[in-house]
Amino acid sequence: MDLQIALLLGQDGVVNGAIYALLALALVLVFAVTRVIFIPQGEFVAYGALTLVSVQAGKVPGTLWLLLGAGLVVAAIDIALALRVGNRRRLPAIVGWNLVLPGAVAGALYGLDLAQLPMALQVVLALAVVVPLGPMVYRLAYQPLAEASVLVLLIISVAVHFALVGLGLFFFGAEGSRTPAFSDASFQLGTLNVNGQTLWVLGASFALIVALYAFFGRTLYGKALRATAINRVGARLMGISTTLAGKLSFALAALIGAFSGILIAPITTVYYDTGFLVGLKGFVGAIIGGLVSYPLAAAGALLVGLLESFSSFWASAFKEVIVFTLIIPVLLWRSLTSHHVEEEE
Amino acid sequence: MRYLKLVLLALLLAAPMVLPAFYVTLLNYIGLYALVALGLVLMTGVGGITSFGQAAFVGLGAYTTAYLSTAFGLSPWINLVIGLGLTALVALFLGLITLRLSGHYLPLGTIAWGISLYFLFGNLGFLGGHTGLTGVPVLEVLGLRLEKGEEFYYLVWLVLLGAMLATQNLLDSREGRAIRALKGGSLMAEAMGVNTTRSKTVIFLIAALLACLSGWLYAHLQRFVNPTPFSLGIGIEYLFMAVVGGAAHVWGALVGAGLITVLKQWLQDLLPKIFGQSGNFEVIVFGVMMILVLQRAREGLWPILLKLLPAAAHPHAVPAGEPLPKREAPAPGTVLLEVKNARKEFGGLVANNNMSLSVKAGEVLALIGPNGAGKSTMFNVISGVLPLTSGEVRFLGERVDGLPSRQIARRGMGRTFQHVRLLPTMTVLENVALGAHLRGHKGVLAAALRLDREEEARLLAEAARQLERVGLGQHLFDEAGSLALGQQRILEIARALCSDPCLLLLDEPAAGLRYLEKQALA
């Protein structure tokens, strides 16, 4: 291996690592707020990428049907509940989020000439289809069990992952797709050839991280999420709805997931089940951070990205084995350094 | 109930003679899957930990025998021993690094291990890569060649029923009570002398070995292995079987495995026709079904089935047995407990400010103070639940601060809790018998093979004796959760007495009791 190849691999590793870092941040966020280990994160990655592929091909993406269907079910349940307790004031919000919004997205998808839209609008449309699925998934699968143990929530996560992967196969078929790059520009940096997509990924990841930082540090909702993460009961006593906090964190996770998918779609071919492995690599990063520390999780994710790209050079068949075995020394280290924590069921 | 079992057994025996080959194959697979699900029942439903990587252990068992018998011509029986040994090593290692951490690290670790092993199977040249290994030899049992599915059937179901019986025996024993106590949080179990990390490792190990056994059978039934049935997705399906069937019940494993296997077969035919394309669409149904089961019937299907059956009359004989050996009581007046300058800080808050006290044998010492004075903290410090900031605690002349609470319990200190900690679904008798955990010695294997009956009877008799002593003699077989709070507190005292302590710590034994209950306590 010479310097040229090392730099190239390093570049690959950092790009993938940036994506894993985004996912790791979302996983830490969701776990801290809701105690859910969000295995289905990866499906949002695949949904984001493949929905954009459909939109760019001028087709209405299959995920729209999932959005409409899930919205309908959520609305039916919530309206029935609201009527039973006589709380009519909630109805406009329920109808707005679950029926009107998906309807508007459907209208836009059918009304516009999708293939001819500028890329930025296509991305926005794809996000508009996928992101609302986050809170809907929370409402349907997790909210009835919000007080259950981490273990039960984890099993639910795996079940949701199963269902979403199966639906992904139905919507997008077994073939993989790629999208065109955000920009064709490429730059010469010494001997290294940096292409535009790399800069896009790094720039977007960085911007998203800064935005999250501002959201959590400066806004009321961000602070409410942080409060819920620290103490659910205390936050509830202060008038913060833990349900809202759960939905909000799932919306953010869905946004980050779908956006990550859109970012990687030009770099690698995305299949309906690609997201799972991508998401799990974010996980390995998040576990390095002990599922609580954002900076450590991001650093761990970068490490995973670099390890992956270098191992694909030396032993490409064993790439996945190497990446997922990394978790063993990490767990060993955590087990030796952390004090025993009591966990009650 | 008895007749029902006999009828079922007869049906099971007759099945391969009357059913077409297709159904016999299906039953074989159900048996193999149920064996894996049984391990998950023990882990998830009973012990409160879980694994998504069981399919990888199945793969380990299958590939070990497939490779060794095709490449070196070793006998399948030797391969079984090697496979079990290999599995035990992996499981012990994974358990060692994850089980001390909080509960979700084991499942996450098993996800990673499941993926790694799957890719390893698929990429190692000598294991045949993704095409796998063919020509696995026929299994011979006592000179009989098990060539056909109908012949193999009896071996599969014999192994499965044996494993189920052994598991049931294990759960109804001293070690079994320790395993069932895991779900109630490790604090109480540790205070009763249970090494909870060891108990968790034991059930993970058992589950892994059952999975390996299933893989070994699979390889010789199929006589061909490839990586597909050992993927993470299948590992997750095993967990679904356990949860859907009823994760807390040995029979749930069989119900779940049967249901999921038949359903999968049916859906794989049906769904591609509905969706108009081919693919594993059954995962959508499984995912949704799983969510509904967890939301609506967290206990799974077995308890629901059980309600339809006539209730079996459980024998409720008061257990009798030789008294257990007692520890030598310290002479009255000797110093039992000595606390010197004990200091406990929580961050900036000083809960115990250099407290000193001593207790002599035969003495009753009360620690009083207003709310928040640090009484419970003192108790927790003495019994080893919380570490001291500074100072020392001596028990029977030996320094015990810094020891885990189970070590202190072993030295003869029994305690109750300010907030009652018992296992509400276990009987009063079993809850109290947990207190005698350290007075028995029979292990997991002895329990599974029912070699522990004499000791078990003595433990239960001791528990019954202590319950008589505190006046709960008529509640032996009630669920502990059904008792009133006052009785639950008294139960905790009986449980502490059961450990034959020389020092008994009662943390606010009268809190929240009515006047009459207070009188009864006194």
Please report residues of A whose CB lies closer than 8 A to that of B236: 158, 162
Q: How far apart are CA A19 and CA A282, in angstroms?
A: 8
B23 part of contact set with chain A, CB < 8 Å: no
Please report residues of B whose CB lies closer than 8 A to that of A159: 240, 286-288, 290-291, 294
B286 part of contact set with chain A, CB < 8 Å: yes
Instruction: Tell me the pLDDT of chain B averaged across its residues.
Output: 86
Q: In chain A, positions 179-208, which contact chain B (CB-CB < 8 Å)?
A: none
Structure confidence by residue, pLDDT tens digits, B41-55: 999 888 888 888 899
A145 part of contact set with chain B, CB < 8 Å: yes
Task: Give the gap in angstroms from C-alpha B371 to the nearest C-alpha of chain A.
Answer: 21
CB nearest to A324's CB, from B97, B115, B233: B115
Chain A residue nearest residue B106, CA to CA: A331
Give the pLDDT of residue A341. 44
The reply to whether residue B112 touches residue A324, judged by beta carbons under 8 angstroms, is yes
Give the pLDDT of residue B395. 87
Calculate the dihedral angle through the C-alpha atoms of B150, B152, B154, B155, rounding to the nearest 10 degrees: 180
B397 part of contact set with chain A, CB < 8 Å: no
Task: Give the gap in angstroms from C-alpha B517 to the nearest C-alpha of chain A.
Answer: 29
Please report residues of A whose CB lies closer than 8 A to that of B279: 166, 169-170, 174
CB nearest to B123's CB, from A164, A170, A318: A318
Task: Give the gap in angstroms from C-alpha A184 to the nearest C-alpha of chain B.
Answer: 35
Backbone region of residue A82 per phi and psi (left: phi > 0; alpha: psi in -120 to 50; beta: other values): alpha
Which is higher by pLDDT, A51 or B354? A51
Burial of B92 (0-12, 13-18, 19+ CB in 10 A): middle
**Residue A240 structural domain:** 3-173+188-337
Instruction: Read off the pLDDT band of B457 (50, 70, 90).
Output: confident
Structure confidence by residue, pLDDT tens digits, B256-269: 999 999 999 899 88
Choose, out of B54, B93, B104, the residue to mutate when testing the contact with A (most A CBs < 10 Å).
B104
Specify whether the CB–CB gap between B25 and B32 falls below 8 A: no
Structure confidence by residue, pLDDT tens digits, B366-413: 888 888 778 888 888 888 888 888 888 888 888 888 888 888 888 888
The reply to whether residue B239 touches residue A160, judged by beta carbons under 8 angstroms, is no
B451 part of contact set with chain A, CB < 8 Å: no
Residue B427's SS3 state is strand
A321 in any annotated domain: yes
Give the pLDDT of residue A343. 39
Please report residues of A whose CB lies closer than 8 A to that of B227: none
A69 part of contact set with chain B, CB < 8 Å: no
**Percentage of chain B modeled with pLDDT above 90:** 25
Task: Give the gap in angstroms from C-alpha A276 to the nearest C-alpha of chain B.
Answer: 11
Average pLDDT over residues B466-493: 85
The reply to whether residue B50 touches residue A280, judged by beta carbons under 8 angstroms, is no
Name the token pair of B267: 């859906």
Whether the per-residue pLDDT at B517 is higher than 60: the answer is no
A181 in any annotated domain: no
Q: In chain A, positions 257-316, which contact chain B (CB-CB < 8 Å)?
A: 277, 280, 283-284, 287, 291
Q: How far apart are CA A136 and CA B425, in angstroms?
A: 35
CB nearest to B183's CB, from A163, A164, A345: A345
Whether the per-residue pLDDT at B518 is higher than 60: the answer is no
Specify whether the CB–CB gap between A27 and A324 falls below 8 A: no
Query: Any bridge partners for residue B394, and if so which?
Result: B338, B399
A344 in any annotated domain: no
A182 in any annotated domain: no
A343 in any annotated domain: no
Please report residues of B whose CB lies closer than 8 A to that of A155: 50, 239, 243, 290, 294
Chain B residue nearest residue A320, CA to CA: B116
The reply to whether residue B236 touches residue A162, judged by beta carbons under 8 angstroms, is yes
B85 part of contact set with chain A, CB < 8 Å: no
CB nearest to B101's CB, from A164, A169, A338: A338
The reply to whether residue A37 touches residue B104, judged by beta carbons under 8 angstroms, is yes
Whether the per-residue pLDDT at B147 is higher than 70: the answer is yes
- Please provide the distance, in angstroms rounded to a whole number, between the alpha carbons at the two ends of chain A: 52
Please report residues of A whose CB lies closer than 8 A to that of B98: 331, 335
A183 in any annotated domain: no
Please report residues of B whose CB lies closer than 8 A to that of A148: 294
3-state SS string over chain A?
CCHHHHHHHHHHHHHHHHHHHHHHHHHHHHHHHHCCCCCCHHHHHHHHHHHHHHHHCCCCCCHHHHHHHHHHHHHHHHHHHHHHCCCHHHHHHHHHHHHHHHHHHHHHHHHCCHHHCCHHHHHHHHHHHHCCHHHHHHHHHHHHHCCCCHHHHHHHHHHHHHHHHHHHHHHHCCCCECCCCCCCCEEEECCEEEEHHHHHHHHHHHHHHHHHHHHHHHCHHHHHHHHHHHCHHHHHHCCCCHHHHHHHHHHHHHHHHHHHHHHHCCCCCECCCHHHHHHHHHHHHHHHCCCCCHHHHHHHHHHHHHHHHHHHHHCHHHHHHHHHHCHHHHHHHHHHHCCCCCCCC
Q: Between chain A and chain B, how many beta carbons pairs sit less than 8 Å apart?
A: 146
Task: Give the gap in angstroms from C-alpha B197 to the nearest C-alpha of chain A.
Answer: 10
pLDDT by 10s per residue, chain A, length 345: 678 888 888 888 888 899 999 998 888 889 888 888 899 999 999 999 999 999 998 889 999 999 999 999 999 999 999 889 888 888 888 888 899 999 999 999 898 888 888 888 999 999 999 999 999 999 999 999 888 888 889 889 999 999 999 999 999 988 888 888 777 777 776 667 777 788 888 888 888 888 888 888 888 888 888 888 778 788 888 888 888 889 999 999 999 999 999 998 888 889 988 888 888 888 888 887 766 777 888 888 888 899 888 888 887 778 888 888 877 778 777 777 765 444 333
Whether the per-residue pLDDT at B74 is higher than 50: the answer is yes
Q: How many CA atoms lie within 13 A of A316 on its CB side?
A: 2
The reply to whether residue B295 touches residue A318, judged by beta carbons under 8 angstroms, is no
A169 part of contact set with chain B, CB < 8 Å: yes
Give the pLDDT of residue A342. 42
Question: Among candidates B451, B455, B426, B420, which has minimal Cα distance to B438?
Answer: B455
Choose, out of B46, B108, B204, the residue to mutate when testing the contact with A (most A CBs < 10 Å).
B108
The reply to whether ipTM tops 0.85 is yes
Query: Any bridge partners for residue B144, and if so which?
Result: B141
Q: In chain A, positions 2-61, which contact chain B (CB-CB < 8 Å)?
A: 37
A323 in any annotated domain: yes
Please report residues of B whose CB lies closer than 8 A to that of A321: 116, 119-120, 123
Q: In chain B, positions 482-501, which contact chain A (CB-CB < 8 Å)?
A: none
> B2-18 and B21-40 helices cross at what angle (nearest 10)?
130
Residue B312's SS3 state is coil
**Residue B134 φ then ψ, to 5°:** -115, 170
CB nearest to B287's CB, from A166, A169, A277: A166
The reply to whether residue A156 touches residue B291, judged by beta carbons under 8 angstroms, is yes
Chain B residue nearest residue A322, CA to CA: B116
- Please provide the distance, in angstroms rounded to a whole number, between the alpha carbons at the two ends of chain B: 45
A142 part of contact set with chain B, CB < 8 Å: no
A251 in any annotated domain: yes
Domain count, chain A: 1
CA distances for B342 relative to B357, B374, B377, B378, B505, angstroms:
9, 12, 11, 8, 17
A170 part of contact set with chain B, CB < 8 Å: yes
Q: How far apart are CA B345 and CA B342, in angstroms?
A: 10
Give the pLDDT of residue B404. 86
Whether the per-residue pLDDT at B317 is higher than 80: the answer is no
Domains for chain B: give ranges and CATH numbers: 18-308 (1.10.3470), 330-411 (3.40.50.300), 412-522 (3.40.50.300)
Handedness of CA B334, B337, B340, B341 (dihedral sign): negative
Q: C-alpha A44: how far from its chain's center? A: 5
The reply to whether residue B123 touches residue A170, judged by beta carbons under 8 angstroms, is no
B283 part of contact set with chain A, CB < 8 Å: yes
